[in-house]
Amino acid sequence: MKGTEMKIIYQAAVAAGLLALAACNNTPAEQAAENIEENAENVADNMEEAADNMTNEAAEDATENAADAVRDDAENKADAVEEAGEANGQ
């Protein structure tokens, strides 16, 4: 492999390790909130990709707005989960 490919692989491995380490320190509520946001991000990304392939600009805009709404809703739900966890000592 070339040097740049090795650097990218190394950086990805380090990032994965740091994410795993960070996840270990999360409370169950924090982890649940993080999962909510990650899942919504995946859904919203898929919606935006679909919007990019649309030929109707109005439909594209509506789909992108819906993707933003998915992210906003997930953030609100994640915040509620974290607050409930804090209230229950998690």
pLDDT of residue 14: 60
- What confidence tens digit (pLDDT) does each residue in 19-64 have? 665 656 688 999 999 999 999 999 999 999 999 999 999 999 999 9
Task: Decide which of 90 and 68 is more confident.
Answer: 68
pLDDT of residue 1: 47
Domain range summary for the chain, segments of one domain joined by +: 27-87
- What confidence tens digit (pLDDT) does each residue in 57-89 have? 999 999 999 999 999 999 999 999 999 988 887
pLDDT of residue 26: 82
Give the torsion sign (CA, 33, 35, 38, 39).
negative
Rounded to two decimals, the pTM is 0.68
Write out the two tokens for 19. Answer: 């994410």
Give the torsion sign (CA, 45, 49, 54, 56).
positive
